[in-house]
Amino acid sequence: MQFRTAIKLGHYFLTVYLLVMVGGYYFLNQQDDAPDTLKTVSQLNSEHWLYMTEHNTGGATVPITYRYYVEPKIKGSDQQIAKQLSALEPLISGMGSINDIHIDDKNRVTVNYSGRFINMASGVDQVTFEIQR
């Protein structure tokens, strides 16, 4: 009789322990769905706007990442615009800044970017690099 009670109690404590461990793992490893924050909006020409968002959810060990988008005008609040942009592919992602950007008559975008570079849009056909030390 005491053996059965000990087994039931052991099973109860083991079940509670496993539930706490699984629940803790779940809550500690959730994705952070915090959207990027919209930092700047600049009009490039009558049809295109440059949007810059900041992704800063990594804490002290992950650098701040900036994402640059060239899109038609997006209406809404800063949060709504940032949420819409998060569904799009950025032109450039990195830890640097765009110093100069132009769009010519053929809708060809020329960008002068300085800083650490992470990613570029998949639709980019030609890239020219200038390396300075």
Does one domain contain both 48 and 14?
no
Q: Which of 119, 39, 124, 122 is nearest to 85 (CA)?
A: 39
Tabulate helix, strand, coil % of the chain (nearest 5).
Answer: 25, 30, 40
**What count of residues does the chain have?**
133
Domain-located, residue 132: no
Give the domain range for residue 59: 37-120
Does one domain contain both 42 and 7?
no
Q: pLDDT by residue (tens digit) across 9-65?
A: 999 999 999 999 999 988 888 766 667 899 999 999 989 999 999 988 777 788 889
Rounded-to-integer distance, Cα 49 and Cα 42, Å: 6
Number of H helices, E strands in the chain: 2, 7
Q: pLDDT by residue (tens digit) across 105-128?
A: 888 888 888 889 898 888 887 777
Torsion angles phi and psi, residue 38, rounded to 5 = -75, 125
Rounded-to-integer distance, Cα 71 and Cα 14, Å: 55
Residues 6+ apart with CB under 8 A from 106: none
Does one domain contain both 10 and 54?
no
Cut 0.85: pTM above it: no
Q: What is the tally of structural domains in the chain?
A: 2
Does one domain contain both 45 and 99?
yes
**In this structure, are residues 50 and 109 in contact, taking their beta carbons and an 8 Å threshold?**
no
Structure-token match 């810059």, residue found? 52
Does one domain contain both 23 and 46?
no
Domain-located, residue 16: yes
